[in-house]
Every structure is written in structure tokens, then in C-alpha cells.
Structure 1
Amino acid sequence: MPLEVLNALDAAKTQWYHFTAIVIAGMGFFTDAYDLFCISLVTKLLGRIYYHVDGATKPGTLPPNVAAAVNGVAFCGTLSGQLFFGWLGDKMGRKRVYGLTLVLMVVCSIASGLSFGHEPKGVIATLCFFRFWLGFGVGGDYPLSATIMSEYANKKTRGAFIAAVFAMQGFGILAGGIVAIIVSAAFKAKYPAPAYEVNALASTVPQADYIWRIIVMFGALPAGLTYYWRMKMPETARYTALVAMNAKRAAADMSKVLQVEIVAEQEKVEQLAQDRGYQFGLFSKEFLRRHGLHLLGTTSTWFLLDIAFYSQNLFQKDIFSAIGWIPPAKTMNAIEEVFKIARAQTLIALCSTVPGYWFTVALIDYMGRFAIQLMGFFFMTVFMFALAFPYDHWTKKDNRIGFVIMYSLTFFFANFGPNATTFIVPAEIFPARLRSTCHGISAASGKAGAIVGAFGFLYAAQNKDKTKTDAGYPPGIGVKNSLIMLGVINFLGMIFTLLVPEGKGKSLEEISGENDEEQEQQRGPPNNTTTATLHV
């Protein structure tokens, strides 16, 4: 029989502490999204400031290897942080590690904006160094926030609560665009500059260097504001009881949170502790038998999703420039370019990205995780192909609005689909002692996909018909073929979704099979005539 404290959590009505947990964990994701995506708003400005060639007739641009590093280095740090902090969350506890990730994010956000150097290479190298460690802290937030919210939530609305935490990512993306608009508009009003084609030397005013630094450093503010409240949260009862084996502490913590009296069942916990030999490890055959396909499903779908999702997010500006929705760089000064890129990305976030997240919050506990993920991948595939095959049609001036609408729908169904569910499912289907680790592995697989998107799409989307593009990039396969590739990737995501189990309406112990483990322990070790329950 499950512990009373876990039954109390599963059956608890929606209370104030649920919303408090959503805000505390969600502000981490707000900061995560802001920090990861704000860099795409200022990469062209960095090229103008640090790679301008005197006497050149075109604005300066970041070399391809530098642009890839600036955009992708944070993802390398995020991948490392997800693996490390995911493992640490199962070893030391969710709460003890939770504050450390936030401190790292605050310090490295500020340090990124204070990047220094005597020459452009020094500034960019310092920026990349601090963005790696910023990503390391961001990475830790993924498994810890998801695990904490799943272990606090009741089973009836657990999906909506975890999705609400992740939905704060949409507000973080939106905030990045809004901050960039405000900062660039303020500098544009105070330090007006002519268009590049009018006066090349004066088109980038010295004060423009402050713009990207302010935008990058702003990410420290929301993270810093939530540190105190994170430290006030008690450890989750599932970690305290099932991993730390302290039923008395778990009952006391949850009695305060739920405001009910809960009996500490230390005898049951001690029985579990004596039978720890049956509590298999991550690299055991038993884990492979029970959860091997589940882990393959969560890692593969997150990997495939993030190739498409981060390619779209980081290189919106390049796609919008390709179809002419953002004017050519030579017709704008540096500050105006930041303003127009931010305005375009904010419009996409406001009209498609943010609504997609909240559609998931509203419907996930009715439709289920599996249905939403399959549907999202399906429509992402459809809209990608709808953009790619008639690509020449969309680039005509009269059809650009149609392109933007179709492109927005791919974001909507990414967020009302696999971008949310790939975050939710790993926090539900694995045992408590391995939950944070397995979520970290799944999330790290996603960030490997983001790295492929950040580095690969940068080169692939270049004009394939030139020996060398205007920006100095080697020839790629072109935007059209890149969109076809992303459509194929989304289709593969549909196939691998079939490996992902449904957790709607079940307790975490039912989904992960931990109730079955307790029953097996009561019966004794399996013999030649007894077979452990197989989870498919």
C-alpha cells in the first residue's frame, strides 16, 4: 500500500501552495527562456559593433564560426547542467540543489553583460565563457523544476501544473522581445543615427554597445527575485520518504503544506530500506526491462523536437530577412535593426508561442500527454512542408503575410504539443530515486538537438547558389531545403512518440511501477515461476 503522505498529495484539492510552487518554479523557466533566446536579438548588433571593417560598403557581420559559438555555447552548458544537476537532485535532494542553479544564473547573466576585452575576439570569448556557465545553471533548472512540481502536484491536475511551470518559458521569450524593443527605442530616440547606406561610419553609434549588454543582464533580475522563496520551499515528500527514507520528516513537511494531520509511517519506509536490493539502478537490466523503451521515447522525441524548435527560434531573423519581412541591413542603422528584429519576434511570441503553451495547460489533463504530443508533431510536419514546397510562392511580396501566419502556426503547435509534453512526461514515468536523473538525461538529449539546430541550421540555411554568401558563410542547402529537413524531423518525432506512455489521471507510483515494487518486496524475490510486472 502507498504511504499516507503520498495519498494525501495525490488526492489534495488545488490549493494556494500549488500556485506558489508554479510561480517559484516558473520564474526559473521565465529566466531560462529569456537568457537562452535574448542572444538571437543582438547577434547582428554584435557583428556591426565588433566586426565592422572601415570603408566597407555593407554592415559588419559575425563570422560563421563566431555566430555559431555565440548562439550555441549556452546550449552546450545547458546540456552539461541537465546531466549534472539531474543526477545531483537524486543524490542530495531537489531543494538543496535548487538554489545553486539560480545563483549561477544570476551571476553569469550579469557577467555576460560585463564581457570585456581589448579587441573583438576578447569580448566575444568572454561572452561565450560566461554564457556557457549561464547555460550550466539553466540546465539544472529543467530536471529540478519539473521533478519538484510533479512531486508536489495532485494526480488530477498534475499535467496542468507542470505545463504551467513550463509555460513561463513563453513569457520569458516574450519578455526578451519587449525588453529589446524598449531599450533599442530609448537609445534610438537619444542617439539617432543615419541608415548604413547613407553614412557607413555613423550608422553604429558608440552607445549601441550598451544595448546588448543591458538586454543580456536583465535576465538576472527575475532569477534574483525568486531566490528567497525557493529556499523557503520544503523538500518534496516523495524524495524525503522514498529516497531519503525519512517518513517522519515527509509527514511533518506535508502536514504544514496541506494543513492536515498526516501519520508518519516509518515502519513501511524501513521495510523499503531493508529491501533496497530490489530498487534497481539506472544501469541495471531491471531498469532496461521496465523503463528502457520509455527512456528511448523521451530522449528521442525531445532530441528531434529541439532541432526544429531551436532552429526556428534562433534564426527567425534570418528567415524573416530572406522573405523580406525585415528590411535589408544596409537600409537600417544598428539600433533600428535591433528594434525591428525584436518587434518581429515579439509579434510571433505574442500571437502563437504564448497561446500554444496555455492551450496545453488548459487541455493536457483532458486530452492526455500522448494525444497532444502526437497532434503537435503532426501539424508541425504539415506546416513545415506547406512552407517549404511552395517556398518561392511565399517569398513574393504579396504573400509574405501568409508565410508569417503559417510560420506562426508551427510555433503554436510546437507549444500546444511536444515542446510542453516532452518536458512533462519524464517527470512522471520514472521512479522517485531516478526521476531527476532520467529527466536530466531526456532534457540533455533535447539540448543536443538544440545544438544541432543552432550550429547546423546556421550553415544549412545559407544560399546554396553562391560560392560564398554576402555574410561570408560557405554555401548551404538554402532555406527551402532546410525547412523540408525540419518537416522530416518532425515526422520522425511522431513515430518515436509511440514509445511514450500515458500518465493522465494516475499517481506517480502507478505510472513508474513503484507500487508494483512494493508488492514484489512483500512477496519476496522473484523465482523461476514468478515474473515481475512488465511495463510497456
Structure 2
Amino acid sequence: MAKQLEVLNALDVAKTQWYHFTAIVIAGMGFFTDAYDLFSISLVTKLLGRLYYTEPNPTRPGTLPISVSAAVNGVALCGTLAGQLFFGWLGDKLGRKKVYGLTLVMMVAASLASGLSFGHSAKSVMTCLCFFRFWLGFGIGGDYPLSATIMSEYANKKTRGAFIAAVFAMQGVGILVSGVVSLIVSAGFESKFKPPSFEEDPILSLTPQSDYIWRIILMFGAFPAGLTYYYRMQMPETARYTALVAQNAKQAAADMSKVLQVNIEAEEDKLSDLVHQKNNQFGLFTKEFARVYGIRLIGTTTTWFLLDIAFYSQNLFQKDIFTSIGWIPSSTKMSAIREVYKVARAQTLIALCGTVPGYWFTVALIDVIGRWIIQVIGFLMMTIFMFAIAFPYDYWSQKEHRIGFIIMYGLTFFFANFGPNATTFVVPAEIFPARLRSTCHGISAAAGKAGAIVGAFGFVYASQERDPAKRDHGYPAGIGKKNSLIVLGVINFIGMLCTFMVPESMGKSLEEAANEASTEDREETNVSGTSQV
């Protein structure tokens, strides 16, 4: 391959500037919305059950049927998977910027529409909600490959991992804010209407105004994202797409000259030599791609798939943990509004103490110790803590030992985020060629969402205890929580082994990390001291 283009080298060696942080905020706000919308639904599912499935003269609070609960929570995951594949491919065909605004519009519109789900019956309301949440997920799915690819192509190689991880870390902020918004909304409604508990008055414990709560919470996520739409549209196309894919060196140089505030030569002759090299010819479904990048793609897809099985399955045990320590009392002892407040408080504490710190530990250390080591350590520690919880599960179930259970459970979330939950997002944006970068990231992310679907649906049933009395009431027989945790520990261990198929990309230019840089480029870069190998 010809020597590196000046415009790409300028990006690689650029000092951290204001535009880097602007790009993080613009791309990160999409992930803020992603997390807010995907996780806020779990805060209001109990309220939905009370609103639409409580009997006329109730003896107990209503709950969502397991099939309805799975649909409401899982349909967005299905939409996300489809969106990751579609927009990942479209981002390589049309350009990152052209598609980027469309995904944000879809998220904003679907968030608002989800809160406006109406109908004459519980079935119609839930159907409407599921419909809009699928398209919400579809837009969210597009943000995964596009945000990661845009940030990787804008960043310098010294701090690229931290910048991409910072975009992903906004997911933790979104989770936290969804809990805070739920706390504020529910506390405000409770203060205004002061409903009694279900035991005191089953009818008045569910006030008519309760129906507004879940709608406000779901719709709020649209506003922070909507504020960044203008700025998304003002971002120029990434230089790597413009030069290497669209083959317009002049436009790439002009765009980055404005961004970096330096004069950059177009080098159209050098670009012509570069794009005619053999390793820039083959497509995704070719023997050449399988030979050069096949193992990498298998590595990024399997690790993300296995991680998300474990990550999304962990949520199955939150209800038991929160109930055991008194964070969430029995539904009969609370009003519907109070229950929203209690659930939101519990999940906010978990996010604040375990989830959010893990993300930012990754941001701080990913360009110091590397992606590969963080991912291996994360999978290993998740395996250890899963087994430490699972094998003495009966011991931890005793009331006097539950604090230890909570600590280890929280540490599994910490090492998921200071580990593979962040690195599986970062690495696919670095180790594939520019013309296929968004597509390959979308495929990897879609594999992750397939794992999330397995975790969210499969382990809901697998974790059910073998209780004949429950099966008589429609509950399936499963392997139980203890055995489910053992299986999840094994899955984490396999994820650690699959990490050996993923190369380290720390300190390399995107062309070096994707095996597109020539030997001449590598030697020149190493001599100049601007690369870490």
C-alpha cells in the first residue's frame, strides 16, 4: 500500500482538541438515549401490570403476564438487532453522516410515540407499545455501529480507545438518569395525590393519574437526544470514509482542515495508488475477507454474544435481591406510585455503585493497559464471582449472608462494564477496513443482541425452579437459579477463551489495526515514535 495519506496521519497524531469532546457528546447522547429507553421500561413494568391487569374487585395487585412482560421488554431488543445489521450496512454504503441523523430521528419519534400508546383494552395498549418499541430499538440499533465508527475515525490513535469508550459510557449515564427521572416523577405524583397502599384500599392505591407516570418517563428520553440533532447534521463526514471509501481526497482534506484548523494537502495521486491495492478490493462475502478478517469477526461476534447472554441474564436476580433486603416491599404494602419509586431507587443505587464506575474505569485505563487485557480480566472476574455466588447459593440465600451476596452481585456488574461490555463495543470499530467497518461492527453488535435475547428470554424460563405448584399455574419447569448461575459462569469463561481470537489495537492507527498499512508505513511510524506496538 502507498504511504499514509496526510489527512489520515493528521487525525492520528492530532492533539486532543475541543472537537474530540464535541464528538463524544454528540455521539454519546445517542447512547444516553439508547440506555435510557432500553432500561426505563423495566422501571414501569410493575406499574403497567397494575394499571392494565388488575381485576375489578382485586384481591392482589395486577401483574403483566409472563408473555406480555417478555414482549414489552424484548421487542426493543429484536428491533435493535435488525437496526444494527441494516444501518451498519447502510453506513458503509451511503456514508456515516447521511445515516446518522436518521437513526436519531427514529429514536426521538419512537420514544414520544411509546408514551402516547393508547387503546380501548390492555391488549391494544400493549400491542401499540410493543409496535413503537420495536421501531425505537431499530433506531437504537443503528446508533451502535455509526457512533462507534464515527468516533473511531475522528479520534487520534493515542486516546482513541478512551474516546470510543466514553461514548459507550454515556449508556451508564442514561441508565442512571432513567432511575433519577423515575424517582422525581413518582415522588411528585405521590406528594400530590397521596394514594394509600393496596392493603389499605385496593381501588384508591391505583389512582387514575398513575397512567401518566409511565408515559412521562418513557417520553423524557426523546428530549436530550433531540437537542443534539442539529449538531449531528453539522458534523462533516469522516475523512476515512470520504477518502478511502468515497475516494474524494480533496473533500476529505477540506473537511479536516476546518476541523483541525490546519492546512492539509489533498494528495489525490497518492489516494489513486492506495485504492487500487489488492487488499482494498474484496468484499465481505469473499474468501479473501475470510482469510484476512474471518477469525477477527468470529472473535468479535462470539465474545459480544456470550457477554450479552450473561449481562442481560443478571437482571433476573435483581427482584429477589431487592426484595430480600427490603428495598422493594411486597406490592400489597405499597401504592402503585410508591412501587415505581421503590424500584427506581433500587436500580439507581445499583447503577451508581456498580454500573457507572465500571464504564469510567474502562475509559481511564483502556489506552494504558489495552483492550485485550481489560476484556480478559472482565470475563475472568465475572466467571469467578458467578461461581462464588452459584455454588454456595443456599448459603447466600440465608438472611444473615445476603449483604455478601449483594456485594458480589454488584461486582459482576462492575467487571462487566470494566471489561467486555465496553471493549466488545470498542474493538470492532478499530480492526476492520474502512469500507466494511460499520458493517462488521453492526454484525458484531447484532450478535450481542442475539445473546441479549437469549439471556432475557431463555434464562427467564431456565431460572424457574422445579416447583410443581407453580407449573400448575402456567410457570415452566427450569433448572433453577443456582444452576442458571453456574451456566452463566461457564459462558463467561468461554467468552474469555474467545477473546484470544481478537487482536490488540491499542496505539495503532486504524489502518495498522485493520492490516491495511504497508510495512513502509509501520517502520516510518515506529521510528517517529508516534506508534505503540
> 1:183·1:215 contact (CA, 8 Å) conserved in 2?
yes
Q: Which residue of 1 aligns with 2:55?
A: 53
Q: Measure how far apart 1:277 and its partner are.
A: 8.1
> 2:32·2:173 contact (CA, 8 Å) conserved in 1?
yes
Equivalent residue of 1:206, what SS? coil
Q: Is the alpha carbon distance of 1:275 and 1:505 closer, same or farther for their aligned partners in structure 2, counting shifts above 3 Å? A: closer
Q: Give unpaired runs (5+ residues) of structure 1.
A: 520-536
Which moved further from structure 2: 475-484 or 127-136? 475-484
Equivalent residue of 1:384, what SS? helix
RMSD, aligned CA: 1.8
Which moved further from structure 2: 318-327 or 185-194? 318-327
Structure 2 CA distance, aligned partners of 1:462 and 1:199?
32
Structure 2 CA distance, aligned partners of 1:324 and 1:491?
33
Q: Which residue of 1 aligns with 2:371?
A: 369
| Pairing 1:164–2:166 present | yes
| Pairing 1:9–2:15 present | no
Q: Which residue of 2 aligns with 1:525?
A: none
Q: Is the alpha carbon distance of 1:517 and 1:233 closer, same or farther for their aligned partners in structure 2, counting shifts above 3 Å? A: farther
Deviations 1:82-103 (A, max 9, x none): 0000000000000010000000
Equivalent residue of 1:38, what SS? helix
Equivalent residue of 1:515, what SS? coil
| Pairing 1:446–2:448 present | yes
> 1:324·1:397 contact (CA, 8 Å) conserved in 2?
no
Structure 2 CA distance, aligned partners of 1:72 and 1:136?
12
Q: Measure how far apart 1:386 and its partner are.
A: 1.4
| Pairing 1:280–2:265 present | no
Structure 2 CA distance, aligned partners of 1:449 and 1:297?
14
Q: What code does the residue aligned with 1:246 have?
A: N
Q: What code does the residue aligned with 1:504 have?
A: M
Q: Measure how far apart 1:518 and its partner are.
A: 10
Equivalent residue of 1:467, what SS? helix
Q: Measure how far apart 1:485 and its partner are.
A: 1.9
Q: Which residue of 1 aligns with 2:530?
A: none
Q: Which residue of 2 aligns with 1:268?
A: 270
Q: Measure how far apart 1:64 and its partner are.
A: 1.1
Equivalent residue of 1:55, what SS? coil
Q: Is the alpha carbon distance of 1:483 and 1:322 closer, same or farther for their aligned partners in structure 2, counting shifts above 3 Å? A: farther
| Pairing 1:206–2:208 present | yes
> 1:167·1:358 contact (CA, 8 Å) conserved in 2?
yes
Q: Which residue of 2 aligns with 1:30?
A: 32
TM-score (normalizing by structure 1): 0.94
| Pairing 1:437–2:450 present | no
Equivalent residue of 1:468, what SS? helix
Structure 2 CA distance, aligned partners of 1:197 and 1:110?
34
Structure 2 CA distance, aligned partners of 1:297 and 1:276?
24
Q: Measure how far apart 1:149 and its partner are.
A: 0.4
Which moved further from structure 2: 311-320 or 18-27? 311-320
> 1:467·1:474 contact (CA, 8 Å) conserved in 2?
no
The structure 2 residue matched to 1:189, chosen from 188, 191, 206, is 191
Structure 2 CA distance, aligned partners of 1:363 and 1:437?
27
The structure 1 residue matched to 2:409, chosen from 403, 407, 410, is 407
Q: Which residue of 2 aligns with 1:83?
A: 85
> 1:184·1:336 contact (CA, 8 Å) conserved in 2?
yes
Which moved further from structure 2: 510-519 or 38-47? 510-519
Structure 2 CA distance, aligned partners of 1:65 and 1:92?
39
> 1:63·1:471 contact (CA, 8 Å) conserved in 2?
no
Q: What code does the residue aligned with 1:117 have?
A: G
Q: Is the alpha carbon distance of 1:517 and 1:205 closer, same or farther for their aligned partners in structure 2, counting shifts above 3 Å? A: farther
Q: Is the alpha carbon distance of 1:136 and 1:385 closer, same or farther for their aligned partners in structure 2, counting shifts above 3 Å? A: same
The structure 1 residue matched to 2:350, chosen from 345, 348, 351, is 348
Deviations 1:237-273 (A, max 9, x none): 0000000000000000001111111110101222344
The structure 2 residue matched to 1:21, chosen from 20, 23, 30, is 23
Equivalent residue of 1:514, what SS? coil
Q: Which residue of 2 aligns with 1:474?
A: 476
Q: Give unpaired runs (5+ residues) of structure 2.
A: 522-533
Structure 2 CA distance, aligned partners of 1:15 and 1:470?
63
Deviations 1:118-175 (A, max 9, x none): 0000000000000000000000000000000000011111101100110000000000
Q: Which residue of 1 aligns with 2:464?
A: 462
Deviations 1:271-319 (A, max 9, x none): 3444578521000101000010000000000001111112224762354
Q: What code does the residue aligned with 2:263 have?
A: E
Q: Measure how far apart 1:397 and its partner are.
A: 2.3
Q: Which residue of 2 aligns with 1:65?
A: 67
Q: Is the alpha carbon distance of 1:480 and 1:330 closer, same or farther for their aligned partners in structure 2, counting shifts above 3 Å? A: farther
Structure 2 CA distance, aligned partners of 1:254 and 1:413?
37
Q: Is the alpha carbon distance of 1:274 and 1:501 closer, same or farther for their aligned partners in structure 2, counting shifts above 3 Å? A: closer
TM-score (normalizing by structure 2): 0.94
Q: What code does the residue aligned with 2:252 have?
A: A
> 1:40·1:314 contact (CA, 8 Å) conserved in 2?
no
Q: What code does the residue aligned with 1:465 have?
A: D
Q: Measure how far apart 1:44 and its partner are.
A: 1.1
Q: Which residue of 1 aligns with 2:498?
A: 496
Q: Is the alpha carbon distance of 1:470 and 1:397 closer, same or farther for their aligned partners in structure 2, counting shifts above 3 Å? A: farther
Structure 2 CA distance, aligned partners of 1:181 and 1:330?
20
Structure 1 CA distance, aligned partners of 2:464 and 2:334?
22
Deviations 1:7-51 (A, max 9, x none): 111010111111110011001000100011101111111111111
Q: Which residue of 1 aligns with 2:524?
A: none
Q: Which residue of 2 aligns with 1:534?
A: none
